[in-house]
Structure 1
Amino acid sequence: MVSINERHVQETLETRPHVEQNERYQDSHLTSIQQIEGGGTIKRVNMNDIPLPLRIFGYTVKIIFILLVAGVIIVSLK
């Protein structure tokens, strides 16, 4: 059985630079998982950078969500 200290490390590959830690939201328990899975911490989506069909879909989902919340509030007030 090979111990951890005896394993060889691939030294020809460069290590990735660490992700900037200047984001607004950071969960200290999830930081390592977020960096491994997503390449960094949670970031806001810039809707102007994505293709038009996806942008339209995103705005449609936002509008439907807002209308549903408004509908629930209106129904609960009656």
Structure 2
Amino acid sequence: MERQQEQEINPILLEFLDTDSFEEKYKILVATPVMDFDNLLIDNMASSIDVVIEDGDIDTRVQDLKVCVRTRAKYETTRFRR
């Protein structure tokens, strides 16, 4: 049963979750064709970074997720500078 659940996890989501930085997460989003996204994938990615992406068409939701990740990436790199 556990092996079957592992096979059902979207590999894009696994890659997104395994990255260490928001810059890497953003690169995954940009490299993934929009047609590979679905509402569940977007919701899971968003919840993994503690944001909510409003309902709508997939293109808009992907763009909103990219904006959130890009914003976090911007502050992630400048946050510890003095």
Question: Whose RCO is larger (CA < 8 A, sep 6+)?
Answer: 2
* TM-score normalised by structure 2 residue count: 0.36
The structure where helix makes up a greater share of residues is: 2
Q: Based on CA coordinates, which of the two structures has the bigger radius of gyration?
A: 1
